[in-house]
Each structure stands twice: as structure tokens, then as C-alpha cells.
Amino acid sequence: MSDIKISYYDKRLPDLIEKLKNMVNKNLDIIDQDTDDDISSDKFYNVLKGRKQAAEDCTWAMRKIDELERELNGEEKEDIKPKKSWAKRAAEK
């Protein structure tokens, strides 16, 4: 019998991936919630800021999920080039 030792990291990685997926689902629910029409403009502004943060957190988490799943499956890391803003692209011309 082979005595293979699995690191704590490898044991907990599937749990982390599952929790990140759960986080994405909850953040998507936050983004999609209806708002009351009678709230003040500054409260509405805070709601929009919260939704923006939830969307950014979703984007980060989804990328992290892809990265961790590739690592878990033993796949090579993809060469993903970061997207440049329009200002950086214009400056390079």
C-alpha cells in the first residue's frame, strides 16, 4: 500500500473553492436586489457603491476560483495578459 501524504493546503482547497462560489452567489444576489424608491440620494449612492464593490468582489472571486481549480486539477497556469485601460493603449500609440 502506498502511503501518500496530502498537505493541509490540498485538503482544504476544495472547501475554499466551494466557499468562494458561495460568496459569488451571495454577491450576485446583492447586486440584483431591488431598492426602495423613497430612499434619499446619499443612501442610494451608498447602495450603488455597495453593488459596485460586490461586482468587483465577484470578478476577483471568479478568477480566483478558476485559478484554484486549475491548480487542484494539476493544469498549467494560463498566460492571461491583463487588459489595459484605454488610456494606456492610447499612450502606447
- Rounded to whole angstroms, the Cα distance separating 43 from 20 reads 28
* pLDDT tens-digit readout, 1-38: 556 788 999 899 999 999 999 999 999 999 999 888 88
Q: Structure pTM?
A: 0.71
Residues 6+ apart with CB under 8 A from 64: 20
Taking the C-alpha atoms of residue 57 and residue 28, their distance in angstroms, rounded to an integer, is 10
All three cell numbers of 49 = 457603491
